[in-house]
Structure 1
Amino acid sequence: MSTPMCPNGHVLPQEIVSALTAIREGSIADAQESETLDFKEDPARSAKATGRNQDAGLVEFLLDECVCLANGEGGDAHILLGVADKIPGPAAFTGTDREPAWLVEKVFNGTKPNLRVEAEIVSYEGARLVWIRIPTALTVYERTRGQATRRVGTSCVPLTDAERRALIATRANPDFTAAVAESEIDDLDPLAVAEARSRLAVRRSVTGQTDPVPQTTNGLLEELGLLTKNKELTVAAEILLMPMPPGRLSVRHLLRTVPAGDPRVQEISSPLILAFREILDRISDSASQEIDRVDLGGGQEVPLPAFPSRAVDEAVANALIHRDWNMTAPVVVDQSPRILMVWSPGPLPYGVTEENLLTTVSHPRNHKLMAAMRMMGLAEESSRGFDRMWVSMLATGRRAPEVEITQSSVQVTLSAGRPDKDFVLGVHRLTDMHGAEVVQSVFTLIVLRHLFDHPLITLREVASQTQQGELSVREGMDWLGDMGLVQPVSDSAQEWVLTDQSRRLLGQDDEGTVAAVSIQEWLEAKLNSGAGVLARDAAEELGVDRAEITAILRHLRTLGRAKIDPEGPQRGPSTRWMAGR
């Protein structure tokens, strides 16, 4: 029996070996093609190619087929050059004299981005063939003239713009956790499996589902989507239900009794489903459950913990679920009495940036892992987690979390701070008046926090802080106006202040006169009083961007109502403005 031979000792994939055997035994190449395998006869060896530009014809075929196969969903794909499509038996192996390097170069130069394939000689049935391997692609490829197709079955079909965008997003954010695991089902940790079964049962009970939870491990894994189509264990199952491999950790917990002091280190290598609860318990046990207390009146008091539990849950869940599991570093939780820092390996998932943390739709990096966690009630697929962190921190009188992003990590920092009890009390009163659905939202709390600290908020400032576009901001502020929380300063609806009722509930009755004017009116009052104005000071006091203040002052200068102090700097942050008269 003939065996395909590669001079460098490489072994052909079984799919190709089986197809070549079938052709030798009487099949035709067309019948052996698949989503990941194609055959092509070299035009130089074909009688039909007489009189044609054989090189150009071959290059056109290779460019079309390599792009098509690279854009397919079957993974690594292959072309065997030197095999006639429709001739059965050994006569199909007509061979080729093409050099592998020439073929690789033509594909590389004729595609964008440049597609790098591999090619090498294969000897079979006395014929010299060339095996071209198209590696699993990480993006979408097209011809240099813009044509892009994808393999569906054994056909190449054009990619629509929507399909192209979806494919780019998917390939830029591959799901490592959906891959086939090296472990077997019998290797799973029994305690982790029992915990998964228990959590699934609780989740079903809470959501009113009556279906029984599978009692077999295989049934449970299938229910949680942790098996492949071929019933093989996924990497997500390994992560969730097996201890970390030797030398690796799930989480490292650094506990400091004083800021910047030497930490007490605890290392967790448990399966993720157990590590998740373990690290949350350690954080809770080590943090003060009450650093202040708010008197709501009528004998009601609310304790304020160092770190709101919901913010902690979201920060840890985000780190463990959305981290890059291809990287070996553990999630690190660095905790001191005033600061909780959660560091996770890997950048933000595709499509998520610092500018859209609060507004982008969910882009889970680890779809398979995320889905299983959601089914067990450990994550919400529709949430990014950041909006919930913001709500928890703002509603308990703290500042929003700090998020530091690099190409290799994401770090979220929660500060215990000194909770603003007046703001917490005011939010409680507003919630009693308008309801939690209105007040306890990230958009509302961001606006209220700003207006608690500053007399007004501008369209630009709302857009910046809530990470929304102008249209969404206007609609949101109009809605808050309809709810009676804010009101526009003028008909232009570029600036807003709290309503009298909101100011009273937030305990700011004595500042009503300050909030009733626009930025321009406020600046003119300052100038006319004889007090000079520095743009940076005005921006800080009003809570707006310095560029907005400078633009208004320049406008007042054109009207003759403002001028730069001739005795001071004429440019820069120390420029002092005075009345124009």
Structure 2
Amino acid sequence: MLDSDIPTAEALTVEFKSDQKRLPDKDLVLAAVCLANTDGGAIYLGVEDDGQPTGLHQDHHDLNGLAALIANRTIPPLSVRTVMMESAGLKIARIEIPRSTRLVATSDGTLQRRRLLADGKPQCVPFLPHEFASRESDLRLSDYSALPVAGADLDTLDPAERHRLRQAIERYRGDRSLLGLDDAELDGALGLTRTESGQRVPTVAGLLLIGRESAIRAHLPTHEAAFQVLDGTEVRVNDFYRWPLVRLFERVEEQFLARVSERELQVGLFRVPVPNVEPRAFREALVNALTHRDYSRLGAVQTRWQTETLSISSPGGFVEGVSLDNLLVVEPRPRNPLLADAFKRIGLAERTGRGVDLIYQGLLRYGRPPPSYLRSDPSSVSVDLNCAEADLNFLKLVLEQENQLGTGLPIESLLVLAELRHARRLDTPETAKLLQRDSAYGRAVLERLVEAGLLQAHGVRKGRTYTLSAAVYRQLGSPLDYVRQAGFDPLQQEEMVKRYVREHGNIRRSDVIRLCGLSPQQATRLLKRLNNNGFLEPHGEGKGTLYARGRNL
């Protein structure tokens, strides 16, 4: 492997270790344990902290020996993969560490995990006992919310909060079969209590949902939520709560709804409300924050409303298997399954577990940008909901399509339409990446939108691209944009290139890209076609190739 395969800096999953003085075995094993107990990654042995390769010590040239050392000195044994690399004639060992599904310690009992400091630099820190339950919950090996609360009894549960929960089931159209149960049966059905040594004791979920505020403060001091309204740098509202979750949810929703403003859009005979923030999208984002947060970690669920952005964040990163690259398609994986199920049965959460779809739809159908999770990191999940002015023409287009279909537009269609309003042109690979699906799925979505008259296809096979149709551009109030984006057909493109060569003697691929508004791949195919037909003759190789007049031009 080449020097270019070595990262330029350390990260959560990248560790550099100097080996000039022979790295002690203990330090190497501890670095492997640290990565395995976090997100896995790679150790680059023979690289300094600043990324400068200095080479392996002679004693570490046996890569199999390095792998055996790590396996023999970890509990349970950690299986790693080793790869020899070379940089400027120096040997470097890349030791690939998998993310462990169990807690891993060194043979002498040391446990560590990896975290990022405020400046983005990684650090290995002790893995403390109170963090074990959270780790196992992340890996879906246990459910922290289903654990009994040590030292708590039935007196820590508040009858008034249980009554509030019953009212919420009515209000939010939850599982009405729960309403016919007595208190003990209701608690058991929702997992609010469990039997330990013949006695009913509250679970973490039970204390969170119907516990007394004093008991929550005593037994679950990590639980906190905040609602903030900022006007520039001035704080208008800054409320913090340690309330039971049903009461807390209703209070935050009340504060949110008090600040929602609406205008109306006339569509046919109906007036459609256009809120500055779609309430369902907000509700699902808040529910996700409350049910998926890491309750073993200090920190508040933050709802922060600024001028054009409503942000909701919660302690704890994405759970195992969920990332920014698969957020739209991954199967629901709650960090606290019992708590998440209780929210669904009460009616506070989307029943299928695909609340993220409602969040996306709640923004995209109004012509707003999709929700952004880019501020999320290993210690927290943050979603930003854009509150900018709605695009009423786009909303009207969506509503008319939904009326024709008799149902809401799929999130895939909304994503493609929203992207084309800015990117102007998409091909199948770009669409597949946008939808977090494979190319076949992306192509199928595009072709369905073509059949619906919303998109227009240009070209054939691999060179096929898509723009919004002329009818859509007219409805959006920008018909001239269609002419600019649709561009020229292949015959027109050929004639433009031939005329350019007649006048200037030759042409490069970069000239074709600018002249015809094509992608690099499309320009290459156009030049190859003209060459095969004898109109152009290539001179040179690679990016510097010049195409001069051919025999038929």
TM range (shorter): 0.5 to 0.7
- 1:176 alignment partner in structure 2: 144
Q: Deviations over 1:52-76 (max 9, x none)?
A: xxxxxxxxxxxxxxxxxxxxxxxxx
Task: Please provide the CA RMSD for this pair.
Answer: 4.1
- 2:387 pairs, out of 379, 400, 416, with 416
Q: Residues 389-435 of structure 1: CA distance to partner in whole angstroms, max 9, x if unpaired?
A: 11110111211111122110111111211221221122122222233
- Which residue number in structure 2 is paired with residue 64 of structure 1? none
Q: Under a length normalisation based on structure 2, what TM-score does the superposition of the two structures give?
A: 0.63
Deviations 1:554-577 (A, max 9, x none): 44455569999xxxxx98xxx9x9
In structure 1, C-alpha distance between the alignment counterparts of 2:161 and 2:496, rounded to whole Å: 66
- Residue 224 of structure 2 is matched in structure 1 by 250
* SS of equivalent residue, structure 2 residue 340: helix
Quickly say closer, same or farther: Cα 1:456–1:533, change in 2 above 3 A: farther
Does structure 2 retain, via aligned residues, the 8 Å contact 1:346–1:410? yes
Residue 156 of structure 1 corresponds to which residue in structure 2?
A: none
State the Cα distance separating 1:212 from its structure 2 match: 4.6
2:185 is matched with: 219
Q: CA 1:579–1:245 in structure 2 vs 1: closer, same or farther (change >3 Å)?
A: farther
Q: Confirm or deny: 8 A CA contact 1:347 1:409 kept in the other structure.
A: yes
SS of aligned partner of 2:384: strand
| 8 Å Cα contact 1:252-1:266 kept in structure 2 | yes
Give the distance between the partners of 1:409 and 1:426, measured in 2 at CA. 37
Matched residue, 1:234? 203
- Distance in 2, Cα, partners of 1:449 & 1:522: 29
Kept in 2, the 8 Å contact 1:562–1:578? The answer is no
Q: Counterpart of 1:348?
A: 318
Residue 215 of structure 1 and its aligned partner are, at CA, apart by 2.8
- State which of 425, 437, 449 in structure 2 corresponds to 1:468: 437
Alignment partner, residue 193 of structure 1 = 162
The residue number in structure 1 matching 2:257 is 284
Structure 1 residues 528 and 222: CA distance shift in structure 2, 3 A = farther
Aligned-residue offset at 1:385: 2.3
1:495 aligns with 465
**Does the 8 Å CA contact 1:173/1:350 hold for their aligned counterparts?**
no
Question: Is 2:264–2:273's contact at 8 Å kept on the other side of the alignment?
Answer: yes
Match of 1:228, SS?
A: strand
Q: Distance in 1 between matches of 2:316 and 2:510?
A: 40
Specify whether residues 200 and 550 from structure 1 end up closer, same or farther in structure 2 by C-alpha distance, changes over 3 A only: same
Letter aligned with residue 227 of structure 1: T
Q: Is 1:398 aligned with 2:368? A: yes
- Whether contact under 8 Å (1:251, 1:268) holds in the other structure is yes
Which whole-Å CA distance do the structure 2 matches of 1:365 and 1:528 have between them? 61
Tell whether the 8 Å contact from 1:553 to 1:562 is kept in structure 2 after alignment.
Answer: no
Equivalent residues in 2 for 1:108-507 (5 A)? 108=73, 111-113=76-78, 139=102, 171=139, 174-182=142-150, 183-201=152-170, 212-216=179-183, 218-228=184-194, 230=196, 231-242=200-211, 243=213, 244-245=216-217, 249-256=223-230, 258-285=231-258, 287-290=259-262, 292-298=263-269, 300-403=270-373, 404-437=375-408, 439=409, 441-453=410-422, 455-492=424-461, 494-499=464-469, 502=472, 506=476
CA 1:331–1:529: 2 relative to 1, 3 Å: farther
Matched positions, count: 406
Partners of 2:249 and 2:511 lie apart in 1 by: 45
Whole-Å Cα distance in 2 between the matches of residues 293 and 484 of structure 1? 27
Q: Measure the CA separation in 1 of the matches of 2:182 and 2:317.
A: 38
Question: Contact between 1:248 and 1:269, CA under 8 Å: does it hold in 2?
Answer: no
Shift of 1:535: 7.4
Q: Give the Cα separation in 2 of the matches to 1:529 and 1:296.
A: 49
Q: Would the aligned equivalents of 2:284 and 2:350 in 1 still touch at CA under 8 Å?
A: no
Contact 1:225 1:371 in 2 (8 A): no
What is the rounded CA distance, in whole Å, between the counterparts of 2:297 and 2:512 in structure 1? 46
Percent identical residues = 22
Q: SS in structure 2 opposite 1:476?
A: helix
Rate the CA distance shift 1:329–1:341 in 2: closer, same or farther, 3 A.
same
CA distance in 2, matches of 1:578, 1:373: 65
TM-score, L = length of structure 1: 0.60
Paired residues for 1:93-104 under 5 Å = none
- Whole-angstrom CA distance in 1 between matches of 2:495 and 2:143: 59
Q: Work out whether residues 281 and 363 of structure 2, in 8 Å CA contact, stay in contact via their aligned partners in 1.
A: yes
Q: Distance in 2 between the 1:446 and 1:106 partners?
A: 46
- Counterparts in 2 of 1:373 and 1:288: CA distance versus 1, 3 Å: closer
Which secondary structure does the structure 2 equivalent of 1:262 belong to?
strand
Q: Given the superposition, is the C-alpha separation of residues 338 and 499 from structure 1 closer, same or farther in structure 2, using an over 3 Å criterion?
A: closer
Amino acid at match of 1:425: K
Residues 490-545 of structure 1, C-alpha deviations (whole Å, 9 max, x = no match): 44274234456555555565555455568978976876787999979989x98xxx
* Corresponding residue number in structure 1 for 2:131: none
Amino acid in the other structure paired with 2:254: D
Q: What is the CA distance between 1:194 and its match in structure 2?
A: 0.8
**Cα gap change, 1:345 to 1:500, in 2 (>3 Å):** same
Aligned equivalents of 2:324, 2:351: Cα separation in 1? 20
Distance 1:106 1:529 in 2: 68
The change in CA–CA distance for 1:465 and 1:578 in structure 2 (over 3 A counts) is farther
Contiguous gaps of at least 5 residues in structure 1: 1-104, 115-136, 142-167, 543-547, 565-569
Other structure's SS at 2:239 match: strand
1:184 and 1:519 mapped to 2: Cα distance? Answer: 75
Give the whole-Å Cα distance in 1 for the aligned partners of 2:71 and 2:522: 60
Separation of aligned partners in 2, 1:214 and 1:107: 55
- Relative to structure 1, is the Cα distance of residues 515 and 365 closer, same or farther in structure 2, using a 3 angstrom cutoff? same
Assess, with a 3 A threshold, how the Cα gap between structure 1 residues 380 and 295 changes in structure 2: closer, same or farther: closer
Contact 2:144–2:336, Cα closer than 8 Å, also in 1: yes
Change (3 A) 1:509 1:189: same
Which amino acid in the other structure matches residue 445 of structure 1? Answer: L
